[in-house]
Structure 1
């Protein structure tokens, strides 16, 4: 299959793409519709799209699905031309910021850092201007804003005609449902304030740069079971679960909160043969720029022939 549907509330397109050596584009807020079955997906932080093998397939799919349903709350301005055409265009000399430091302060694997630095060097070789810089983000704001996704998901389940049987769902889902019922209007307001702080910080930063380059996740692909959704350890909460997720993938969620388009590209491979993704982030409405630069990478450092030591 050249593509597979996915959605992204905190990294669920980009993180699997990084772990599986695929292209994972998270469109910006309002680029792809959430309706008509969903009103407002996670307070505008959830994006629908797909995982693809190539930049070309991502561009063609975005042409097919981009654009709001009439009356949607969020709508991104349409591109000047089809994305499948824009990937062949020269984006010009870009101002690129690069960071390998996680805003949460969690350590980043040296091989992941190395792949990100190597990607920045490729951008310099292509002709772009690369600077070490990063938006000023508070990690706790990202966690606080992430609770909006948690409670909106819980509220959707609780409003359903048929309530789930608690004995048939996993421990984290039970916590989400329980905590959603205790979430107040003041809690929502505090989380929205945190979302706005992150959005403004990222927006301000990207007035000075065309792209931000980061690792996609902070470590090599973790073994299955590292994040156990059925962990019923006493004292766990939905908020502590979010923090645990952000320890593995600290670089993706800020751009769900801010709504910026971002893409993970399979630009690295570890000594063990594991794929390493590098994330590119652009200003609102600039999926075209992400795809143009992704196409430059695909030509400069092609990944289609890269295979692990054991593969089908």
Structure 2
């Protein structure tokens, strides 16, 4: 799910320390860490078993520059002493789409329950469609979305019992021009929209659904100078591993001083 955008791994660790503790009345919460996440920056992770894939589970093509950055990250991890193997969890891409519908039902439900019902005339086409599909949804639709979540979560959990980390590209394509993903396209249903955005970003949604911790690191650049990210995913409650390995990569392949040809300081 959404988190902070940080310039350094240390900043991300401090932010996680600040917001990760549960509130008193929270029904669900993640396992507490052994210590502050900020103390994991610079700590040795040991020799880890890292699985790597650049193949999207939906079968959509991945840009060669994007795949190349992930492959480079895998080689860097090998140089750092980790065991890197090409392997991938057996994730059902259509189950990811169906599971993501639960989030859309939640968004639509919040709008329907708001003190002031939204005016469809003031909404983009996709928001109108989500609102209509939520209003028409039944308990069976909700149960189907929950079942799809389990069909995504189980193979990921089993896979991360065999490996300490999974390495993938963050996105499947280079940064797209503004308007490429058009929220006002009237031809989309909620599911067709999810499939469209997952064509562009096919690697991250499964872990939003499964709840496994993940981090995106901008270790590469396109030929145009735009950032290319890689994603690391760990088992439940192993944010400590993510921070340790992310800090290793940050030290070995620093990115926070890298600037594109055109930026706000020029």
**Partner in structure 1 of residue 100 of structure 2:** 146
CA distance in 2: counterparts of 1:186 and 1:283, whole angstroms: 30
Note if 1:221 corresponds to 2:166.
Answer: no
CA distance in 2: counterparts of 1:209 and 1:245, whole angstroms: 28
Give the Å deviation of 1:228: 0.8
Give the Å deviation of 1:143: 0.2
Unpaired runs of at least 5, structure 2? none
CA distance in 1: counterparts of 2:92 and 2:30, whole angstroms: 26
**Partner in structure 2 of residue 303 of structure 1:** 255
CA distance in 1: counterparts of 2:245 and 2:62, whole angstroms: 24
Unpaired runs of at least 5, structure 1? 1-7, 14-48
CA distance in 1: counterparts of 2:118 and 2:24, whole angstroms: 33
Give the Å deviation of 1:67: 1.1
Give the Å deviation of 1:293: 0.5
Residue in structure 2 matching 1:86, options 21, 40, 65: 40
CA distance in 1: counterparts of 2:177 and 2:228, whole angstroms: 14
Residue in structure 1 matching 2:209, options 257, 260, 274: 257
**Partner in structure 2 of residue 157 of structure 1:** 111
CA distance in 1: counterparts of 2:179 and 2:113, whole angstroms: 30
CA distance in 1: counterparts of 2:209 and 2:200, whole angstroms: 17
Note if 1:170 corresponds to 2:124.
Answer: yes
Note if 1:244 corresponds to 2:193.
Answer: no
CA distance in 1: counterparts of 2:175 and 2:205, whole angstroms: 17
Note if 1:269 corresponds to 2:221.
Answer: yes
Give the Å deviation of 1:74: 1.8
Output the TM-score relative to the length of structure 1.
0.83
**Partner in structure 2 of residue 285 of structure 1:** 237
CA distance in 2: counterparts of 1:72 and 1:304, whole angstroms: 36
Q: RMSD of the alignment, in Å?
A: 0.8
Moved over 2 A (4+): none
Output the TM-score relative to the length of structure 2.
0.98
Give the Å deviation of 1:182: 0.8
Give the Å deviation of 1:156: 0.9
What does 1:65-144 align with in structure 2 at a 5 Å threshold?
65-144=19-98
SS, match of residue 96 in structure 1: strand
**Partner in structure 1 of residue 155 of structure 2:** 201
Give the Å deviation of 1:73: 2.5
Which has the larger displacement, 63-72 or 236-245?
63-72
CA distance in 2: counterparts of 1:221 and 1:128, whole angstroms: 30
**Partner in structure 1 of residue 164 of structure 2:** 210
Note if 1:181 corresponds to 2:135.
Answer: yes
SS, match of residue 78 in structure 1: coil
Which has the larger displacement, 185-194 or 109-118?
185-194
